[in-house]
Structure 1
Amino acid sequence: MTDWTQSRMELPPIRPLGWCLAGLRGIALAVVTYGCLAVFLLLRLVERPLHGMNRPWTPHITQFVCRMAVRIMGFGYQVTGQPMAQRGAIVANHVGWLDIFALNAADRIYFVSKDDVAGWPMIGILARATGTMFIERKATEAKAHQAMMEERLRAGHRLLFFPEGTSTDAIRVLPFKTPLFQAFFSHGLDRVLHVQPVTAVYHAPPGADPRFYGWWADMSFASHLLRVLATPRQGRIEVIFHPPVPVDAFANRKELAAYCERVIRASHPLAAPA
Structure 2
Amino acid sequence: MSLPKSLYSIRRQLGRGKQIAGMTSTIAGGIRAAKKIGAFQAPPREQLPRYIQTFCKKMASSFGVKVVQVERVPQYHGLWVSNHVSWMDIPVVGTVSPAFFLSKAEIGEWPVFGKLAKAGGTLFIERGSGDAGSVADQITTFLKDGFSVIFFPEATTTSGKKIKRIHGTLLQSAIDAGVPVQPIVIAYVNNDGTLSEALPYFGKLTMKESIKRVLDSRDVCAYVLPLESINPEGKTKSELTNLLQKRMQDGLADLHSRVLSDAGLKLLEK
Q: Same fold (TM over 0.5)?
A: yes
Which aligned pairs between 1:138-217 and structure 2 lie closer than 5 A?
A: 140-186=130-176, 189-190=177-178, 193-204=179-190, 206=192, 210-217=196-203
* C-alpha distance in 2 between matches for 1:73 and 1:140: 34
* C-alpha distance in 1 between matches for 2:240 and 2:16: 42
Is 1:43 aligned with 2:37?
yes
> Hey, what does 1:71 align to over in structure 2?
61
Residue identity in the other structure for 2:32: A
CA contact (8 A) 1:89 1:196 kept: yes
Contiguous gaps of at least 5 residues in structure 2: 257-264
Is 1:30 aligned with 2:24?
yes
Residue deviations 1:203-240 (CA, integer Å, cap 9, x gap): 14649874321101332223312221222x22211000
Is 1:243 aligned with 2:256?
no
What secondary structure does 2:165 align onto?
A: coil
Q: Specify which of 82, 94, 111 is matched with residue 101 of structure 2.
A: 111
Residue deviations 1:50-108 (CA, integer Å, cap 9, x gap): xxx76122322211111122333333432023333543111110011101111111122
Residue identity in the other structure for 2:30: C
Q: What is the total number of aligned residue pairs between the two structures?
A: 252
> Hey, what does 1:256 align to over in structure 2?
240
Q: Tell me by how many angstroms 1:185 deviates.
A: 2.1
Contiguous gaps of at least 5 residues in structure 1: 1-11
CA contact (8 A) 1:204 1:236 kept: yes
What secondary structure does 1:254 align onto?
A: helix
Residue deviations 1:95-148 (CA, integer Å, cap 9, x gap): 111011111111222112456766888655433432223447898522321221
Residue identity in the other structure for 1:263: R
> Hey, what does 2:262 align to over in structure 1?
none
Residue deviations 1:24-47 (CA, integer Å, cap 9, x gap): 111111112222223214413598
Identity among equivalent positions (%) equals: 21
Q: Tell me by how many angstroms 1:272 deviates.
A: 6.5
> Hey, what does 1:4 align to over in structure 2?
none
* C-alpha distance in 1 between matches for 2:117 and 2:89: 13
* C-alpha distance in 2 between matches for 1:243 and 1:58: 25
TM-score by length of 1: 0.79
Which of structures 1 and 2 has the larger relative contact order (alpha carbons within 8 angstroms, sep 6+)? 1
What secondary structure does 1:266 align onto?
A: helix
CA contact (8 A) 1:54 1:155 kept: no
What is the aligned-residue RMSD (CA, Å)?
3.2
> Hey, what does 1:9 align to over in structure 2?
none
Q: Tell me by how many angstroms 1:173 deviates.
A: 1.3
CA contact (8 A) 2:73 2:225 kept: no
Do the aligned partners of residues 103 and 46 (structure 1) sit closer, same or farther apart at CA in structure 2, a change above 3 Å counting? closer
> Hey, what does 1:83 align to over in structure 2?
73
CA contact (8 A) 2:171 2:240 kept: yes
Residue identity in the other structure for 1:265: Q
CA contact (8 A) 2:191 2:219 kept: yes
TM-score by length of 2: 0.80
Do the aligned partners of residues 254 and 89 (structure 1) sit closer, same or farther apart at CA in structure 2, a change above 3 Å counting? same
